[in-house]
Amino acid sequence: MSANTTYTDKLSTSQTNRTSRDRMKRPRTHWLPYILIAPAVLLIMSFLFYPMANVFYYSFQNFNPAKPYYNGFIGLDNFKAIFSQDELFYSSLLISFKWVSIEVIFQLIFGLLIALLLSQAFAFRGLFRSISIMPWAVSGVITSTMWSLLFNEHMGLINSLLIKFGFIEKNFAWLADLKTVFPAVIITELWRGIPFFAITMLAALQTIPQDLYESARVDGAGRWKSFIHITLPFLKNSIILSTLLRAVWEFNNVDLLFTMTGGGPANTTTTLTMYVANQAIISQNFGYGSALTVISFIILLIFAMGYLRLSRFGKEG
């Protein structure tokens, strides 16, 4: 019995030592970094995920504070009404597509041209760079107020200049006419959005090695060939990322349109986001507005994933 007891004790001791060695080999979990980032994570969850969850929750509700007796769970009725009965939804979606396409394309073109000019060496380059990014620092409400005054029918500077140079004979209501209101807000947003692309493209241009341009010159390549074969390939990822960000921002643009036109006249400038604002803020139909927001979120998610996949972001060639 004593021999068996001794063997058992040795086996137990060996197993204990092995367990101790295994514990010593395992990396210790340091909780301090997690504790330090916990406040930031909680804030993000409070200000981002909780409102998002609320929107999804209210999209299945009939929630209107002005008519509390109708409030309650209605399932997919909001979504059924949007897709089967709401003609303004499809109209606002088409206007959003036009708005985003025109803004992003022209902002990219003009922003890239400005960046190419500002990347050249000339006198007072720093001053012109500062002036070119000033519109980007102005808020949307201030921008829309300023341009509303410029387009004003009675005292606007645009009417005064056009009459002075003989382009028109009398004052014109740019923001009240169905034919001119959309181009007017397009111009306003272009003025504010071009500097974003100018800054982004200018920063990307600084990373291109100048040796490549010198080698291209030696080989007889002109500016256009250098731009196509050197500049654009180096700018590819910057263009993809900036256009994606700008497309999402323009799709969600509401401050400028809300201040300048309110979506009118006759819903000519009612984008999908503007329609959400009208439903939720003006009509106080928060359930229906939440359902529209969920649809907008899904559209943007599909667009972002598809755009990054098709453009091969981060991949060579």
**DSSP tally for the chain: helices H, then strands E:** 16, 2
Please, which pLDDT band fits residue 6 given cuts at 50, 70 and 90? low
Q: Is the pLDDT of residue 97 over 90?
A: yes
Q: What is the pLDDT of residues 246-302, one digit of tens each?
A: 999 999 888 888 888 888 888 888 999 999 988 888 888 888 888 999 999 999 999
> In b/e form, how buried is each residue of 191-225, taking b as 16+ CB within 10 angstroms?
bbbbbbbbbbbbebbeeeeeeebeebeeeebeeee
Q: Is the pLDDT of residue 110 over 90?
A: yes
Calculate the alpha carbon distances from 262 to 250, 267, 270 in Å. 16, 9, 8
Angle between helices 232-251 and 87-118 (to 10 degrees): 140
pTM (predicted TM-score):
0.80
Q: What is the pLDDT of residues 8-65, one digit of tens each?
A: 555 455 555 555 555 555 555 578 888 888 888 888 888 888 888 888 888 888 888 8
User: What's the whole-number average pLDDT of the chain?
Assistant: 83
Q: What is the pLDDT of residues 147-159, one digit of tens each?
A: 988 888 888 888 8
Q: List, in order, residues 6 or more apart from 269 with CB less than 8 Å away.
A: 95, 181, 182, 185, 257, 260, 261, 263
| pLDDT of 49 | 83
| pLDDT of 10 | 52
Q: Where is pLDDT greater, at 122 or 13?
A: 122
What letter does residue 73 receive in the DSSP assignment? E
As a whole number, mean pLDDT of residues 165-173 equals 83
Q: Is the pLDDT of residue 7 over 50?
A: no
pLDDT over 90 percentage in the chain: 21
CA 244, 178, 156, 249: dihedral to nearest 10 degrees? -10
Please, which pLDDT band fits residue 104 given cuts at 50, 70 and 90? very high
| pLDDT of 317 | 54
Instruction: Collect contacts of 134-139 with beta carbons under 8 A, ≥24 apart.
Output: 134/195, 135/191, 135/192, 135/194, 135/195, 136/192, 136/193, 136/195, 136/196, 136/199, 138/192, 139/255
| pLDDT of 24 | 52
Identify the weakest region by mean pLDDT among 23-27, 88-92, 128-132.
23-27
Nearest to 82 by CA among 301, 232, 287: 287
Any bridge partners for residue 72, and if so which? 62
Please, which pLDDT band fits residue 100 given cuts at 50, 70 and 90? very high
| pLDDT of 51 | 83
Class of domain 88-311: mainly alpha
As a whole number, mean pLDDT of residues 116-136 equals 83
